[in-house]
Structure 1
Amino acid sequence: MKSDTPLLDVRDLSIRVAGVKPLLVDGISFALDPGQTLCIVGESGCGKSLTSLALMGLLQTPPLSITGGTARFAGRDLLTMTRQELGHVRGDRMAMIFQEPMSSLNPALKIGEQIAEAVRRHKGVGRDAARARALQMLERVRIPAAARRLDAYPHELSGGMRQRVMIAMALANDPELLIADEPTTALDVTIQAQILDLMRELQAETGAAMILITHDLGVVAEMADQVAVMYAGRIVEKGPVAQIFDDPQHPYTIGLMSSMPSLGARADRLVTIPGVVPQAADMPAGCRFASRCPFRSGICDTVPPLSSVGNGHDVACFHAPLEQAPRPKAVSA
């Protein structure tokens, strides 16, 4: 769904950790329309979760701090809101699903109480109405025997059921923006598929925009409208999901896709990306992927801007489009 004004418009967001000069998240920008799903993809440590925590106002400060940028949600900058203002927005108009529900749910409270608390906090209803809403949400996420589960503690539920509770809690106040940080990481593949189907169905019902943070390209292909690929704190490629999958233009994106296993017989070994992600304190001054890139040249010692290669598809690589780039060189592991 395309709108004239994005629901969320993030520009040049930068995050630093005390004592380290290079930025952990370095000037990233993206926009999200109502009803749209943006998948932020990349390896562990690339800054995906930091980005989501910054938007929710949940960064641990210190040692982390936001050093620049804006994040306008429905016209207001989340990064300049007071704690009280954020408290009114968070859990109501925007909500988050965390990757490990056992550490996110309060083990000492029954799940019905935890969902009802969010409803009472933002809707100003009484205990009975809030409990009724909690029951409605448990039924909505298809938890069996929902009335009985209202009085269960988190440890009495399976991992898949706990994740459904997290989804119910996040959607209890019908938020306009839902952020899901690796919501299926700790689940087996069958339950993963069920959770993703549930999220997609509930999003279609509510019209919420969603940021889905993942390292799983299979999830991206299934869920995304737009994709942002992050590497070492920077967005290196972004655009419509079909464009990214059909015509990836950053060497890192190509490496990620080439390393995906496929169904059926496979004659060759999976492709690997040589080298390792640089440590935060050792980030190079130019392109952060350069040391691992077969297209590297002298110009890569400067920072490549995100530039359009057409059809809403942007890439941060001096050699894009890669079809016209010089023959790639071998890179040692």
Structure 2
Amino acid sequence: MVENIDLTVAPGEILCIVGESGCGKSVTAMALMGLLPPDVARIPSGTMNFAGTTFDMTRETLPSDLRGSDMAMIFQEPMTSLNPAFRIGDQIGETVVRHKGCTQAEGRARALEMLRRVGLPSPEDRLDVYPHQLSGGQRQRVMIAMALANDPRLLIADEPTTALDVTIQAQILELIRDLQRDTGMGTILITHDLGVVAEVADTVAVMYGGQMVERGPVAEVFANPQHPYTIGLMASVPRLTGPRGRLTTIPGTVPTMDTMPDGCRFRTRCAFAARTCATRPPLTDVGPDHLTACHFAPLEDMLRVAG
């Protein structure tokens, strides 16, 4: 169950949503795009304001002229997102024809332009190939080309470098960042990799157990993390310098939705947990545009009193 998520993405900004697998990152993205299947998911409340228009998210779908045009999404696994029975040029061109009302020939020309733009080798030859004839990195470039074909104002990228080797990961992230800078679109990048966050994000939102536990400018959050979960995530990242030793771990496992504790959902794994954590902590200002959901924030004050 995802709840109490409050996100703002400005034009030209990259917001990274980070957290362990199962914390609700992808569900949040699918909800924003209106892609949650109504037979297994329900949105009881919530709104989205997009370019000055407010949408009631309890509706099953967003307007069809918004999704795929002004809002676009890159999914985790391009092999399951691309249709294996259609050539990639036709799949990209279809999105343009659908939203721009142009001819098939114009859609194909736009597909070729986008394949060039995302740096796919020999784009003229790739228009008529099928997804299985491309490598994983090439398929991801096709997904990016399809998502950006209609010049969206908002791009949601759900772990776009999953299953790619580190060299291709770096290329895909650099491509997204360059295209975002060129077009000025807002971008939500979902990841579990704090290295990616440090490299590309302007703002970071940390999720745990379906809730947002910390949000702020990436430099501020990395320099001064205020939620115990955020601190645990950062401490578990391997470092290339300094003494060798065992990696820090967060004890325990993420509770399932039917065993999630009341109050702070992280309290069963938190070293600072106390009775007051049985009540839900509100998001509190701890710095410029920096919010955290912890009863003991700022942690420096609590540690100073304890010392």
Query: Cα 1:164–1:328, aligned 2, differ >3 Å: closer, same or farther?
Result: farther
Matches within 5 A, 1:14-25: 24-25=1-2
SS at match of 1:88: coil
Give the distance between the partners of 1:85 and 1:289, measured in 2 at CA. Answer: 33
1:125 equivalenced with 2:102 (yes/no) = yes
Equivalent of 1:64 in 34, 37, 41: 41
SS at match of 1:308: strand
Give the distance between the partners of 2:66 and 2:125, measured in 1 at CA. Answer: 31
Q: What letter matches 1:217 in structure 2?
A: L
Equivalent of 1:294 in 268, 271, 275: 271
Residue 305 of structure 1: aligned partner: 282
Give the distance between the partners of 1:202 and 1:278, measured in 2 at CA. Answer: 38
Give the distance between the partners of 2:58 and 2:270, measured in 1 at CA. Answer: 40
Residue 126 of structure 2: aligned partner: 149
User: Normalising to structure 1: TM-score of the pair?
Assistant: 0.89
Residue 186 of structure 1: aligned partner: 163
SS at match of 1:40: strand
Give the distance between the partners of 2:120 and 2:175, measured in 1 at CA. Answer: 11
Matches within 5 A, 1:104-183: 104-183=81-160
1:34 equivalenced with 2:11 (yes/no) = yes
User: Which blocks of at least 5 consecutive residues in structure 2 are unaligned?
Assistant: none
The count of aligned residue pairs is: 306
Larger strand percent: 1
Work out whether residues 45 and 58 of structure 2, in 8 Å CA contact, stay in contact via their aligned partners in 1: no
1:76 equivalenced with 2:53 (yes/no) = yes
Query: Cα 1:270–1:293, aligned 2, differ >3 Å: closer, same or farther?
Result: same
Q: What letter matches 1:171 in structure 2?
A: L
Structure 1 runs of 4+ aligned residues shifted over 4 Å read 80-85, 326-329
1:318 equivalenced with 2:292 (yes/no) = no
Residue 198 of structure 1: aligned partner: 175
Q: What letter matches 1:37 in structure 2?
A: I
Matches within 5 A, 1:230-245: 230-245=207-222
Give the distance between the partners of 1:261 and 1:26, measured in 2 at CA. Answer: 31
Query: Cα 1:83–1:300, aligned 2, differ >3 Å: closer, same or farther?
Result: closer
User: Normalising to structure 2: TM-score of the pair?
Assistant: 0.96
Q: Deviations over 1:181-232 (max 9, x none)?
A: 0000110000000000000111111110000000000000011101100000
Query: Cα 1:142–1:199, aligned 2, differ >3 Å: closer, same or farther?
Result: same
Work out whether residues 78 and 86 of structure 1, in 8 Å CA contact, stay in contact via their aligned partners in 2: no
1:276 equivalenced with 2:253 (yes/no) = yes
Equivalent of 1:220 in 181, 197, 222: 197
Work out whether residues 295 and 326 of structure 1, in 8 Å CA contact, stay in contact via their aligned partners in 2: no
Work out whether residues 255 and 273 of structure 1, in 8 Å CA contact, stay in contact via their aligned partners in 2: yes
Q: What letter matches 2:273 in structure 1?
A: R
Work out whether residues 287 and 304 of structure 1, in 8 Å CA contact, stay in contact via their aligned partners in 2: yes
Give the CA deviation at 1:69.
1.5
Q: What letter matches 1:280 in structure 2?
A: M
Residue 262 of structure 1: aligned partner: 239
